[in-house]
Structure 1
Amino acid sequence: MKLKMGHSKTCTTQIHALLILTIVTLSSSQSSLCRTSCGGIQINYPLTIDDGCGSPYYRHILACTGDVLHLRTPSGRYPVKSISYSDPHILVSDPLMWECKDEDRFRPTRPFSLDSSTHLSLSTQNEYLFFNCSPDKVIMEPRPMFCERFPDRCDTTCDPASYLCRHFPECAPNNKALRALSCCSYYPKATESLRMMLKHCDTYTSVHWKSVGGLGTSQPYDQVPEYGVRVDFEIPLTASCLRCQDRAKGGGTCGFDTSNQDFVCLCEERNVTTYCKDHQVERHGGHTKAVAGTVTVASIAGVGIGAGVWYLKKLRANAPVTHGVHTNENRLF
């Protein structure tokens, strides 16, 4: 009997210790479910790298591998250089695109594309340079003169007299290898038009205008060209999300149920469908788990809780699809 009692006591102690370990492990996993950074890049609402966090509009868009953040698109995975939430955009690089260090050495590339079902769009601050295009297949004329002569065909010209074709970013002014390089600037409006350009040109690159004034302005004197693709995104905020983020109501994090994508407020100890300090509601039973609540840069100051869904959007040009492409299916830009 003594042996049995001792054995029972030992088992009870072990079970108790196992329960404590399980609780600690669960608490740790819950507090780290919604990661807030990857490789030094902040991950705030509406973006996310963990399922059930952020907005379902951007589910599976970003991936964190080790300390490298990638943007997933139909054309591939692209390293993220930076993310801005005050002027909502993601800046990515494409290792296959040409840069000045490549000089006259070209490599096969692929057209950059975005899924039209997402809330992402290519920024109008991008400029696209095409190299060694066939003059028999591509109209290469200085835009000002060409547009004066053919105003109805202005969007079809690839401009060899553009500023960036005369001033390649990160290039020495007297680089001999670049002197014979044929360059023109063209802004495709659809995936097919980009494929057509690449069919008749050796390669291309994207250059965006980076603000150096720290104010996020788009004035020419306040920007410098930099290789990369700027992708704009929208910040959707609902009345439920505003209540969830409200510090007076618990300062939760906006998330969603992975089974039905319904809104969930992620709190430090539980998930709810309202806000963290609402003690009259039951815990949410979805697939998401509770995490430490943080208020994101989408401030709720001065915003009425009764407001409906609204978006912070970048202005977009309404230019028609050009270069012989008259459909917006699988839109690129």
Structure 2
Amino acid sequence: MVVRIMNIIHPSMTLLSFLSLFFFLLIPSLMSAQTCQRTCGKQILKFPFGSDPGCGDPRFQQYVSCNQQRLILTTHTGSYPVSTIDYTNQVIYISDPSMSTCSCTQPSKGFGLDWNAPFTFHDDTIFALLDCSTASSPIYTANGLNTDGNGSKALLCANEGTPICSYLYSCRPISTINLPISTCCIYAPMDLGPSFEMDLKKLQCTSYTGFYSFNGQEANPENWSYGIALKYKFSVNNDYPISCSQCERSYGVCGYTGAYNSFICNCPNGLNMSTDCFFTAAYNNGLRLFLPWKNGAGLIYFLAWSILWVLL
């Protein structure tokens, strides 16, 4: 009976069945579960940031992650919530729970960036070191002199910092410490050195505060924007990847995966494509009606369709 059926199969039907089998095996290999999210809580995610491994730029994945719907920056000094991201100006704003502000004063170990992290301090960021030892802290001694490229030296505490310290000491939590204003030091990010390290124990300071905007009210520290502003770059030349632009125009999420960090465009329906998501639009409008792979019905339809062609 089997021989008789096989003898009446038209060659074109055999070829069609083979192509159908090939197509059936090929499409699932392009598909995967959706892993890249467009948001983390209320924070919109765009390249170079991502929600999960394989999403966004690999250089940023180890530093910025989505943890329980909260975007977190992690360095060797701790984990810090991301307040917001300015994608236009490529600035990420973070907060340090151990930082002193006009609302509270608390001890801190300081803040530091990993030397190979794709971030630098934004020029608007200002640090104020609080309760520093004027007798032994290196920021007040000859050992604390900062040498620039021309060989000249200057104290690490900025001369223009006195008014800022005065404003900070008008905050009730700071004023209740009853410390002399001379123990306050305005510490510019550039003075953190190539390791971007603010080690308060080494500097012999109890705490610090950081802010990146006076919000037009320099004399009112209660309304300052407290936190740390960090600048990031896409690459050495700071060029936005063309492949990423094409992917995002097709409503995909950029990512890099595998041992060689190969580019993928993660599409809304779960397909990981090597270019963009325009192919998946056709898939959604046409093929998906006949190939509902995710619920397993596609296998049944394919087998029934193939058997029907063979028996005809």
Q: Which residue of 1 aligns with 2:233?
A: 234
Q: Secondary structure at the match of 2:168?
A: coil
Distance in structure 1 (CA, Å) of the matches to 2:173 and 2:59: 44
Q: Is the 8 A contact 2:114 2:196 kept in 1?
A: no
Does the C-alpha gap of structure 1 residues 42 and 160 become closer, same or farther in structure 2, counting only changes over 3 Å?
A: same
Q: Is the 8 A contact 1:46 1:55 kept in 2?
A: yes
Letter in 1 for 2:198: L
Quick one: which of 194, 200, 205 aligns to 2:198?
Answer: 194
Q: Secondary structure at the match of 2:80?
A: strand
Q: Secondary structure at the match of 2:224?
A: strand
Q: Is the 8 A contact 1:82 1:90 kept in 2?
A: yes
Q: Which residue of 2 aligns with 1:111?
A: 110
Does the C-alpha gap of structure 1 residues 232 and 177 become closer, same or farther in structure 2, counting only changes over 3 Å?
A: same
Does the C-alpha gap of structure 1 residues 258 and 170 become closer, same or farther in structure 2, counting only changes over 3 Å?
A: farther
Q: How does 1:49-128 map to 2 (within 5 A)?
A: 49-103=51-105, 106-107=106-107, 109-128=108-127
Does the C-alpha gap of structure 1 residues 265 and 211 become closer, same or farther in structure 2, counting only changes over 3 Å?
A: farther
Q: Which residue of 2 aligns with 1:38?
A: 40
Letter in 1 for 2:204: C
Q: How does 1:213-224 map to 2 (within 5 A)?
A: none
Q: Is the 8 A contact 1:244 1:265 kept in 2?
A: yes
The Cα offsets for residues 223-269 of structure 1, whole Å up to 9 and x where unpaired, read as: 963221112222452232233233xxx44332112432111122344
Q: Secondary structure at the match of 1:129?
A: strand
Letter in 1 for 2:78: G
Normalised to the residue count of structure 1, the TM-score between the two structures is 0.58
Q: Is the 8 A contact 1:252 1:266 kept in 2?
A: yes
Q: Is the 8 A contact 1:198 1:204 kept in 2?
A: no
Q: Is the 8 A contact 1:244 1:254 kept in 2?
A: yes
Normalised to the residue count of structure 2, the TM-score between the two structures is 0.61
Letter in 2 for 1:273: S
| Root-mean-square deviation (Å) | 3.6
| Unaligned stretches of 5+ residues in structure 1 | 1-26, 142-150, 214-219, 280-333
Distance in structure 2 (CA, Å) of the matches to 1:158 and 1:140: 11
Equivalent residue pairs, number: 229
Report percent identity of matched pairs.
24
Higher helix share: 2
Query: CA offset at residue 172 of structure 1?
Result: 5.2
Q: Which residue of 2 aligns with 1:276?
A: 277
| Unaligned stretches of 5+ residues in structure 2 | 1-30, 142-150, 281-312
Compare CA radii of gyration and give the structure with the larger one: 2
